[in-house]
């Protein structure tokens, strides 16, 4: 069994680039497919998200292009990678670009939601590998701003997700514009919803490699199904599950609910960012970067993130709203237990949802036994783990009083605690009966953070935002709730004096 990338026919510069990133041993999907993909065969790779498919196709793409002898030309890419979402396109390019640069190749991305000017400029300058979403790519093709007649290798990534999103007709039109003799690689978790027709129509005598998730080097994913008495218990548990120190993704059914929960958590002292279809591309990228970098540990998302993002070390996925069907459950859950790490998946179930969730789990082949629980359950506390100590949003200083009085909030750390209670009274949304406990937790978090960082007193961390907006805007993920304008420019990370970065989650008006 091949155990290192040096055992494959890869350029030395590529192997060095992998080693510089700490990548030396291939995952099973890479071990299985690389001999055939490097030899130029069409390959159908089947494996779950997180099994290493991006690197499995990136390596043969750059290796074969570097050896092909063809030249880079304006508006005529040599390899095409199709992806269903903008986030996935960006993450594929993040994997591809360092490998391509090591061999003197250029890459670029093409997707909607942003102006096409920079994308067209990159195509005009000449690129080797184009990573694209079908919609924008078809727009550019129809404008005759590029041609696909020079494509030597075509990759369809997450083909089943493209089918779920209704992209397959566009994918067929795009594939029809690529040379029939080119190499074609298709990676998908399943072959339903028409993906099998794509395989039959466009892949020539493909070699199929299916990787059983149980064979991949992924630690156990543990599923927990929690039966809750009512919505009040659920609200408190959601807050508690979000308050741990590790990365966690909370899934909601609708864009509005995702936005609302991210705002509530942030106001309650748990910084969270949102990810859903109503955000502009800039906000989506900023929020995902904040979560990926660890600046914010909580991502509240709709199913746009179930297949569209790849972030390692997510320790907990919470189905705050159980999904409508079992495939969505599996893909959401796949955000954890990735790249060799373990993870937990929690589904919160209200009484009226028990029948639907039971059917969902049966179809997903999840055998976790539902259990009744509530706030303070030791098993739930174990899932929360160590709670993070966050800096509570600080109240702004009041105008200087005549006679030399101190500004409001400048007296002591206890003043910060009362400020936290005032904010919760105006715009907070903590669990019923939990106001005093949350205020104390916020104050303790502020003191702990100050001790760790040698921070200045609470008044030095104050921002210029009014208290009615401070809770929503002073921690990552907050949207302006009072209709006020953001200082420092819309949609940009901001910093107050000694305060943490602020990530706007609202789209520009």
Residue 217 above 60 pLDDT? no
Crossing angle of the two packed helices 413-427 and 255-267, in degrees rounded to 10: 150
Instruction: Give domain status of residue 56, yes or no.
Output: yes
Domain final position from 384, 402, 427: 384
Lowest mean pLDDT among 111-125, 269-283, 483-497: 483-497
Q: What is the pLDDT of residues 418-450, one digit of tens each?
A: 333 333 333 333 333 343 344 334 434 443 444
Query: Which residues form the domain of 248?
Result: 221-384
Distance (Å, whole) CA 495 – CA 92 = 31
Q: Tell me, what DSSP letter sits at residue 352?
A: G
Whether 256 and 163 map to the same domain: the answer is no
User: Measured in Å, how far apart are the chain's first and last C-alpha atoms?
Assistant: 56
Is 188 part of any domain?
A: yes
User: Which pTM was predicted?
Assistant: 0.61
Residue 14 tokens read as: 């590529």
52 shares a domain with 169: yes
SS3 482: coil
Residue 335 binned pLDDT confidence (cut-offs 50, 70, 90): confident
Q: How far is CA 363 from CA 116, 119, 195, in A?
A: 42, 42, 21
Q: Do residues 191 and 288 both lie within one domain?
A: no
Last residue of a domain, one of 194, 215, 236: 215
pLDDT in tens, 144-200: 999 999 999 999 999 988 988 889 999 999 999 999 999 999 998 888 788 999 999
Does one domain contain both 119 and 261?
A: no
Domain count, the chain: 3
Q: What average pLDDT does the segment 464-481 reach? A: 36
Cα torsion 469, 471, 473, 477: sign: negative
CA distance 353 to 344: 21
Whether residue 318 sits in one domain with residue 174:
no
């Amino acid at each position: 069994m091949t155990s290192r990338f040096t055992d494959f026919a890869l350029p030395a510069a590529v192997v060095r680039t992998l080693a510089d990133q700490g990548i030396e041993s291939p995952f099973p999907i890479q071990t299985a497919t690389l001999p055939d993909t490097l030899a130029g065969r069409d390959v159908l790779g089947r494996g779950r998200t997180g099994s290493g498919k991006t690197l499995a196709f990136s390596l043969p793409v750059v290796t074969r292009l570097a050896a092909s002898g063809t030249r880079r030309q304006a508006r005529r890419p040599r390899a095409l990678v199709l992806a269903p979402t903008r986030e996935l396109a960006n993450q594929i390019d993040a994997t591809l670009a360092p490998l391509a640069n090591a061999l003197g190749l250029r890459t670029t991305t093409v997707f909607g939601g942003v102006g096409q000017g920079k994308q067209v400029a990159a195509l005009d300058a000449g690129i080797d590998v184009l990573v694209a979403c079908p919609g924008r790519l078809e727009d550019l093709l129809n404008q005759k701003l590029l041609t696909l007649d020079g494509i030597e290798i075509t990759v369809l990534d997450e083909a089943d997700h493209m089918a779920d999103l209704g992209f397959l007709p566009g994918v067929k039109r795009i594939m029809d514009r690529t040379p029939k003799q080119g190499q074609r690689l298709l990676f998908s978790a399943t072959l339903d919803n028409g993906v099998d027709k794509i395989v039959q129509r466009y892949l020539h005598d493909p070699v199929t490699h299916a990787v059983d998730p149980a064979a991949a080097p992924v630690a156990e994913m543990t599923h927990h199904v929690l039966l809750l008495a009512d919505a009040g218990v659920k609200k408190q548990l959601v807050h508690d599950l979000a308050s741990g120190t590790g990365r966690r993704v909370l899934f909601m059914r609708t864009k509005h609910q995702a936005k609302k929960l991210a705002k509530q958590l942030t106001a309650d002292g748990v910084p969270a960012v949102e990810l859903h279809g109503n955000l502009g591309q800039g906000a989506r990228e900023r929020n995902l970067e904040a979560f990926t970098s660890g600046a914010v540990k909580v991502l509240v998302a709709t199913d746009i993130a179930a297949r569209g993002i790849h972030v390692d070390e997510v320790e907990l996925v919470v189905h705050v709203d159980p999904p409508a069907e079992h495939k969505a459950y599996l893909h959401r859950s796949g955000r954890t237990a990735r790249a060799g790490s373990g993870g937990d998946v929690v589904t919160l179930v209200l009484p009226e949802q028990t029948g639907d969730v039971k059917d969902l789990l049966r179809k997903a082949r999840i055998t976790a036994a539902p259990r009744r629980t509530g706030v303070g359950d030791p098993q739930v506390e174990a899932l929360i783990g160590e709670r993070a100590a966050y800096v509570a949003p600080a109240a702004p200083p009041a105008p200087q009083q005549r006679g030399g009085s101190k500004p409001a909030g400048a007296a002591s750390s206890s003043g910060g605690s009362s400020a936290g209670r005032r904010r919760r009274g105006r715009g907070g949304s903590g669990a019923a009966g939990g106001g005093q406990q949350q205020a104390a937790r916020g104050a303790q978090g502020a003191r702990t953070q100050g001790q760790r960082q040698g921070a200045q007193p609470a008044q030095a961390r104050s921002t210029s935002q009014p208290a009615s907006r401070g809770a929503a805007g002073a921690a990552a993920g907050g949207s302006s709730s009072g209709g006020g304008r953001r200082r420092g420019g819309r949609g940009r990370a901001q910093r107050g004096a000694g305060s943490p970065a602020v990530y706007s989650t609202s789209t520009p008006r």
